[in-house]
Amino acid sequence: MNESRTLQGIGVSPGIGTGPAIVIRRDLPDVPDRVVPADAVEAEVIRLHDAVDSVRRGLEQLRQRARERVGPEEAKIFDAQILMLQDVEFLKGAERLIRDNQLSAERAYEFKALEVRALWANSGSSRLRERVADLSGLQIRILNHLLGQPVDEAFAPTGGRPSVVFLRELTPGLTVQFEQDHVVGFVSEEGTRTSHAAILARSLGIPCVMGLPGVLHEVRSGTEVIIDGARGSVTLSPTAEQVSEAEVAEGKRHTLLRELESVLGQPAVSLDGVNVTLRGNLDLPEELDQLAGQGAEGVGLMRTEFLVVGRADLPSEEEQLDYFRRVARRFAPAPVIVRSFDVGGDKFPAAFRILPEPNPFLGWRALRVCLDRPEVFLPQLRALLRARIDGDIQLMLPLVVDVSEVVRTRELLAEARASLARDGLRAADDLPVGVMVETPAAAAIADRLAEVSDFLSVGTNDLTQYTLAVDRGNARLAERFTTYHPAIVRMLHAVRDAAVRARLPISVCGELASEPLGAFLLIGLGYRNLSISPVSLPLIRWLVRRINASTAARAAEAAREAATAAEVTRILEEHIAEYVDLGSLETGWLPQDRRNTKLG
């Protein structure tokens, strides 16, 4: 009998499932090194385009299937794949390889795909690296078609039971192809939470764990598996006790989900009458419907990096305007707070020609780039001023460390307003400008920043990273990265006090607000405006309606005097236990520094 063991990956779609493993080795096909006669070159070019047309039709069918299963917004993921498939520059490059080197269509396509893959995989942009999975899916389809092999792989559950599917790389096409009653989970060696396949898995409600290198060599088809898509764990050959625990945990999860559904549309008001405004964090257009459907009272953090990352040129003013208007109209009259481009660090777009930096997260990034490159910032400011006519659009500045940065932004805003007037374009007379407090410097001078700002919003992710000198993406330091450190608690208290004294709106838009214990702490510290990830909105609404804000205030006061993160956590847990059993909540909603606990 095989010994039970647990592997730890990245949880990208919540839920717990048990079933036999089925290993699918869907690798890139071997392409013969073949050349064609000179008089057959044009026929080979035609063959390439015929394959593209055939694969496009297949993707259109998958798009329709996605629309029927998960809705029109998620189905737009396949629009992006179709655009990638028909990319003119890519196809021209493959054609040149055929004409100049007399390569077969499949060999030319493979060479061009390898070139693009290497460019994307080595990019400093995490968003661009995530598109490698989309490219792989297209490459497999095109090459199989050209080689006369099946484009789509047949799948049947192991022994008639729904299975946990193991793959090297999960693509959007595969995610939608699998029948939901045949699959209880996906596990892949590669992939990230924001990949298109991960987004589809969440929309379908299928547990998914990614980022487990070498897992295909660790498991055989038929092996019994427990997958926990929130915790990111995969247990192979579990004991009867572990299976029983997983079934109980999944039962509790479904009970909680029913309770969360019951409060949808209800106000987030505590038992002692304290109202908490719950807005949403918006990363990608695909999340817009989900955010609105979860009852978000506006957008507290609208990221704009997807507009620039993964493309060779910068987005036009009109392109930005269209997106800003779309979101503003969807949530009007509630506010939509747009964060200016937070490029840099691990997400520089190809349009920026920059030299490598020894420490990019402390280098030329975020607002620094925008202020140094007005030609990048001014079109965004113009688009925001024009979009404000359609809703309560506001601007938030990331990585602020000095008052002068806010003052300079306002000067550029005046320039943008004047240029719009000269061009005869309708635009708002004003645009509220706020600071994202995410550096120790900004927290320390919050009172001064308040003098030149219209609002403050705390970004707890980077504030924790920079305060504790811990890279939040470093797995070796995961236990040291905790937003419950006393230094963070005291900073949160000080920033909130500075905003209150200046009579400015104050909110939190970091991950801390998306966790039950974190939301409890923030409410206790006096925060009444939280911006939350879409998946956590129902949970935090449910939580607010079950607690007394006065109890949270007593807990926060005691936490401010604590000496360690463990003591802060203990204090909060003791006080929240009067209303909520944290152990009954889904593991994916536990505090960040406790998510790596393994099953068994």
**Can you give the pLDDT at residue 299?**
96
Residue 156 has pLDDT above 60, yes or no: no
Among the residue ranges 118-127, 339-348, 380-389, the one predicted with the least confidence is 118-127
Q: In angstroms, rounded to a whole number, what is the distance separating the alpha carbons of residues 486 and 373?
A: 38
**Can you give the pLDDT at residue 231?**
81
Among the residue ranges 351-355, 426-430, 481-485, the one predicted with the least confidence is 351-355
Q: Tokens representing 445?
A: 């001078």
8 A C-beta contact, residue 126 and residue 303: no
**Can you give the pLDDT at residue 591?**
36
Among the residue ranges 15-24, 164-173, 458-467, 589-598, the one predicted with the least confidence is 589-598
8 A C-beta contact, residue 526 and residue 250: no
pTM: 0.70
Among the residue ranges 44-48, 368-372, 530-534, 587-591, the one predicted with the least confidence is 587-591
Average pLDDT over residues 438-451: 95
- Does CATH number 3.50.30.10 belong to domain 5-26+153-258? yes
Residue 557 has pLDDT above 70, yes or no: yes
Residue 423 has pLDDT above 90, yes or no: yes
**Can you give the pLDDT at residue 594?**
33
Cα 63 to its chain centre, rounded Å, is 21
Among the residue ranges 170-184, 318-332, 511-525, the one predicted with the least confidence is 170-184
Is the peptide bond prior to 333 cis by the omega test (within 30 degrees of 0)? yes
Q: Is 370 one of the annotated active-site residues of the chain?
A: no
Residue 588 has pLDDT above 70, yes or no: no
Of 297, 224, 305, residue with least CA distance to 265: 297
Of 82, 68, 255, residue with least CA distance to 179: 68
Q: What value, to the nearest 5°, has the Cα angle with vertex 258 and ends 255 and 263?
A: 130
Q: In angstroms, rounded to a whole number, what is the distance separating the alpha carbons of residues 345 and 365?
A: 6
* pLDDT more than 70, % of the chain: 86
The dihedral through the CA atoms of 361, 170, 115, 74 has a sign that is negative
**Can you give the pLDDT at residue 124?**
47
CATH of domain 263-594: 3.20.20.60
The one catalytic residue among 145, 196, 493, 575: 196
**Can you give the pLDDT at residue 540?**
93
* pLDDT more than 90, % of the chain: 44
8 A C-beta contact, residue 139 and residue 105: no
CA distance from start to end of the chain: 17
Among the residue ranges 193-202, 217-226, 547-556, the one predicted with the least confidence is 193-202
**Can you give the pLDDT at residue 421?**
95
* 593 pLDDT tier (thresholds 50, 70, 90): very low
Q: Is 493 one of the annotated active-site residues of the chain?
A: no
Secondary element (H or E) of residue 91: helix 88-101
Is the peptide bond prior to 150 cis by the omega test (within 30 degrees of 0)? no
Chain-wide mean pLDDT for the chain?
Answer: 84
Residue 133 has pLDDT above 90, yes or no: no
Q: Is 211 left (phi over 0), alpha (psi -120 to 50) or beta?
A: left
Of 165, 232, 163, residue with least CA distance to 192: 232
8 A C-beta contact, residue 486 and residue 521: no
CATH topology for 38-146 is Enzyme I; Chain A, domain 2 (1.10.274)
Residue 164 has pLDDT above 90, yes or no: yes
Q: In angstroms, rounded to a whole number, what is the distance separating the alpha carbons of residues 97 and 324?
A: 41
Residue 326 has pLDDT above 50, yes or no: yes
* 592 pLDDT tier (thresholds 50, 70, 90): very low
The one catalytic residue among 145, 208, 370, 509: 509
**Can you give the pLDDT at residue 151?**
65
* 566 pLDDT tier (thresholds 50, 70, 90): very high
* 459 pLDDT tier (thresholds 50, 70, 90): very high
Residue 198 has pLDDT above 50, yes or no: yes
**Can you give the pLDDT at residue 157?**
54
Q: What does the pLDDT look like over 55-96, one tens digit per residue? A: 899 888 888 877 777 666 667 777 777 888 888 888 898 999
The SS3 of residue 510 is coil
Domain ranges of the chain: 5-26+153-258, 38-146, 263-594
Average pLDDT over residues 228-236: 88
The better pLDDT of the pair 187, 26 is held by 187
Residue 597 has pLDDT above 60, yes or no: no
Residue 29 has pLDDT above 60, yes or no: yes
8 A C-beta contact, residue 188 and residue 169: yes
Q: In angstroms, rounded to a whole number, what is the distance separating the alpha carbons of residues 166 and 158?
A: 12
The better pLDDT of the pair 504, 588 is held by 504
**Can you give the pLDDT at residue 380?**
94
Of 459, 516, 515, residue with least CA distance to 488: 459
The rounded radius of gyration (Å) of the Cα atoms in the chain is 25
